[in-house]
């Protein structure tokens, strides 16, 4: 599938899921896969085309999608089309996006890289509040592991810099998770 086609399909995906238009979206997608790959962080081989799962939640990136089964079909179809990198975050839903990915794809196919993020809280739809406290980030990593049914997160990212917390402290928490082998490649590499 060409990058442009995938982007068009992905952008239409959120609207399609909300309107039960998955069959039309899938019909528009090419079944070919790209042979182009690269090393993410120097050690994770991924296809150039990934899938950002944020829009598979409810309105305002809040709650479950209106059609949960179609959202799971979108995830499965992305993998069938050759996507081996899925990006999510604990704030998407909040939490529901990671749970949805596990529902749809666990046990995960060999070679699937799941990236997630922490450091944003969600008091309501379309509301994002950074929280970079080290103890909060450590808790985020542990909860994402549980929701995604993983022993180790391939790529864990700091979602936002929290101006109230020194960045060294936030990144230190992620480095500690990496050292504990809870995450692999991270935004605070050795």
Q: Say what the pLDDT of residue 10 is.
A: 46
Give the CA distances from residue 24 to residues 16, 48, 60, 190, in Å, rounded to whole numbers and listed in that order. 8, 24, 24, 45
Q: Say what the pLDDT of residue 19 is.
A: 41
Active site residues: 92
Q: Which of 98, 82, 93 is nearest to 48 (CA)?
A: 82
Say how many C-beta atoms besides its own lie within 10 A of residue 12's C-beta. Answer: 15
Q: Say what the pLDDT of residue 41 is.
A: 83
Q: What are phi and psi of 52, to 5 degrees?
A: -90, 115
Mean pLDDT by 10 residues, the chain (190 residues): 48 44 43 68 89 96 97 97 97 98 98 97 96 98 98 96 97 96 62
Q: Say what the pLDDT of residue 188 is.
A: 42
Please state whether the predicted TM-score (pTM) of the whole model is above 0.95.
no
Q: Say what the pLDDT of residue 164 is.
A: 98
Q: Say what the pLDDT of residue 35 is.
A: 65
């Amino acid at each position: 599938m060409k990058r442009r086609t995938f982007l068009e399909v992905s952008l239409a995906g959120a609207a399609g899921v909300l309107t039960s238009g998955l069959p039309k979206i899938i019909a528009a997608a090419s079944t070919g896969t790209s042979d182009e790959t690269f090393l993410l962080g120097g050690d994770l081989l991924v296809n150039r085309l990934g899938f950002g799962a944020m829009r598979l939640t409810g309105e305002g990136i809040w709650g479950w999608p209106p059609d949960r089964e179609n959202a799971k079909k979108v995830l499965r179809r992305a993998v069938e089309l050759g996507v081996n990198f899925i990006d999510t975050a604990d704030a998407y839903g909040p939490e529901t996006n990671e749970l949805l990915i596990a529902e749809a794809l666990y046990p995960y196919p060999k070679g699937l890289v799941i990236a997630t993020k922490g450091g944003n809280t969600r008091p309501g739809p379309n509301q994002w509040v950074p929280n970079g406290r080290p103890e909060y980030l450590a808790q985020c990593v542990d909860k994402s592991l549980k929701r995604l049914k993983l022993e180790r997160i391939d790529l864990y990212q700091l979602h936002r810099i929290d101006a109230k917390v020194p960045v060294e402290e936030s990144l230190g928490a992620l480095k500690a998770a990496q050292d504990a082998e809870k995450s692999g490649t991270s935004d605070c590499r050795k």
